[in-house]
Chain A
Amino acid sequence: MPSLKSLRNRISSVKSTQKITKAMKMVAAAKLRRAQSQAEAAQPYATRMASMMAALAQGAASNPNAPKLLVGTGADKRHLIVAVTADRGLAGPFNSSLSRAAKARVRALQAEGKTVQLFAVGRKGRDSFRRDMADIMMGDVNFVGRKTVEFKDAEAIADRIIAAFNDGQFDVCTLMFNKFVSVMVQTVAETPLIPAAGGPANDNEKPEQSGTADYEIEPDDGSLLDRLLPRNLAIQIYRALLESSAGFYASQMTAMDGASRNAGDMINRLTMNYNRTRQANITRELIEIISGAEAL
């Protein structure tokens, strides 16, 4: 039977833990709102960019001189996986589920005999990959100590990826991130970055059907695509970063909510235990007094 003092200490320590998790939940909720509105604000650009890309890619994909960023190198041998995680933990399965999915993907590709490289965005993912896949890490970035992600950050990542691609380090690039479905649900999503057109798969669609073919293009298809493709890549990464950050705060909020509730349960149990022990002590003392009086 634990002593009353040790029970009191435990109750107060669980209470202060609960205070911390409650505060973290509130902070995560506030940050989630900000991250969500940032993600919504970035939506129009991405939508317009996608429709413009579609209009241009249709014509260019069948062109033998189409930019490699659009149609790929023609090979499917060397892969790069860009995995987006958060820099901080205490967010339930947020980081671990993504790292696990990325590692599973890497092993699956390796089993098919392909060469795989990893690029980690976010500190947690980097740490996890370094443990058992250090030899295939191409690089990493993180935003430790930063309040929000900016488009410039995404652009910097895109520049590194494009530079490595132009250098011939890989053929196919896939982006993996936690997609924000709702506050309760974040799922691991994959987006192909290179080739942007998803290969020549859209050959069997009728080119004129969407009516985009009648655009005039200035200066010309090729040089416009040369500018548009890197931009599109950066936008995809930016969107993934924003979704991931919204998902992170949602996940953290859920995790901290659960933790606060568990702490509450624990406090109840300990308090019950404390009161029982206290009453048992009183009863025992009473018995001692009464039996002492009777013996006289």
Chain B
Amino acid sequence: MTLALEIISPERLLLARQVSMVVIPGTEGDLGILPEHAKLITSLRGGMIDIYEDDEIIDRFFVSGGFAEITETRCTVLADEIMKLADINRDTAAEQLAAAETEYRDVDEADPTAWRNASDRLITAQARIDALAHQ
């Protein structure tokens, strides 16, 4: 029993293959998706997507946010920005974290959308730094 996984960025279809399990970073916590999962639509926070084949991680991606649509047989990840774990650049990641921290500090808390965007970006930047530890 396998699950059809699709990872799509706005520019292109990045990956489409059968996998036994995938772990995606939902906004409410990481989700391990196996075949026969209940139908679900969720937004994603910045974090790692781990692709499993027979209990082993065969591929790891870093996603900066997006959405996922899950059905019993299929998991579609619509990623904002996605890269292979190995492609994360330490210096750029540090710069992005610094920028996100500044933005979060200066954001107008009365504006809920701006505040949410800033905090999303901060979480993503922090997750990117954390992901470096797994490289």
Interface residues of chain A, those whose CB is within 8 Å of chain B, are 38, 41-42, 44-45, 48-49, 51-52, 55-56, 150-151, 154, 166, 214-219, 223-224, 226-228, 231, 234-235, 238
Binding stretch for chain A, among B4-12, B53-61, B89-97, B99-107:
B4-12
Of the listed residues A48, A214, A227, A238, the one surrounded by the most CB atoms of chain B closer than 10 A to its CB is A227
- The verdict on B18 contacting chain A, using a C-beta distance below 8 Å, is no
CB distance from A158 to the nearest CB of B (A): 11
Does B39 contact A214, Cβ atoms closer than 8 Å? Answer: yes
Does B11 contact A218, Cβ atoms closer than 8 Å? Answer: no
Count chain B residues whose beta carbon lies closer than 8 angstroms to a beta carbon of A: 23
Does B26 contact A41, Cβ atoms closer than 8 Å? Answer: no
Does A218 contact B78, Cβ atoms closer than 8 Å? Answer: no
| Cα distance A154–B11 in the bound complex, in angstroms | 11
Across-interface contacts of B69 in A (CB, < 8 A): 48, 51-52, 215
Does B8 contact A44, Cβ atoms closer than 8 Å? Answer: yes
Does B8 contact A224, Cβ atoms closer than 8 Å? Answer: no
Does A42 contact B11, Cβ atoms closer than 8 Å? Answer: yes
| Cα distance A45–B13 in the bound complex, in angstroms | 7
Q: Which of A52, A56, A215, A219 contacts B27 (CB 8 A)?
A: A219
- With A44-B13, A52-B67, A52-B69 already in contact, the answer to whether A218 and B8 are too (CB < 8 A) is no
Across-interface contacts of B42 in A (CB, < 8 A): 217-219, 224
Q: Name 14 A/B residue pairs within 8 A (Cβ), A-sorted.
A: A42-B10, A45-B8, A45-B78, A48-B76, A51-B69, A56-B41, A151-B10, A215-B69, A218-B26, A218-B41, A219-B27, A223-B43, A228-B67, A231-B80
Contact indicator per residue, chain B 75-118, by CB within 8 Å of chain A (1) or not (0): 01010100000000000000000000000000000000100100
Across-interface contacts of A166 in B (CB, < 8 A): 113
Does A44 contact B41, Cβ atoms closer than 8 Å? Answer: no
Majority SS at the chain A contact face? helix
CB distance from A93 to the nearest CB of B (A): 30
Does B67 contact A218, Cβ atoms closer than 8 Å? Answer: no
Across-interface contacts of A235 in B (CB, < 8 A): 10
Apart from the given pairs A41-B13, A48-B69, A224-B43, 5 other A-B contacts in the complex at a CB distance below 8 Å = A41-B11, A44-B12, A48-B6, A154-B10, A218-B28
CB distance from B34 to the nearest CB of A (A): 15
- The verdict on B133 contacting chain A, using a C-beta distance below 8 Å, is no
Does B28 contact A49, Cβ atoms closer than 8 Å? Answer: no
The residue in chain A whose Cβ has the minimal distance to the Cβ of B111 is: A166
CB distance from B4 to the nearest CB of A (A): 13
| Cα distance A79–B103 in the bound complex, in angstroms | 33
The residue in chain B whose Cβ has the minimal distance to the Cβ of A47 is: B8
Across-interface contacts of B113 in A (CB, < 8 A): 166, 226
CB distance from A48 to the nearest CB of B (A): 5
Q: Which of A150, A151, A154, A215 contacts B41 (CB 8 A)?
A: A215
| Cα distance A56–B113 in the bound complex, in angstroms | 20
Across-interface contacts of B78 in A (CB, < 8 A): 45, 48-49, 52
Q: Which of A42, A216, A228 contacts B38 (CB 8 A)?
A: A216
Does B43 contact A41, Cβ atoms closer than 8 Å? Answer: no
| Cα distance A18–B41 in the bound complex, in angstroms | 56
Across-interface contacts of B9 in A (CB, < 8 A): 45, 151
Does A238 contact B10, Cβ atoms closer than 8 Å? Answer: yes
Does B67 contact A227, Cβ atoms closer than 8 Å? Answer: yes
| Cα distance A224–B78 in the bound complex, in angstroms | 13
Across-interface contacts of B43 in A (CB, < 8 A): 218-219, 223-224, 227-228
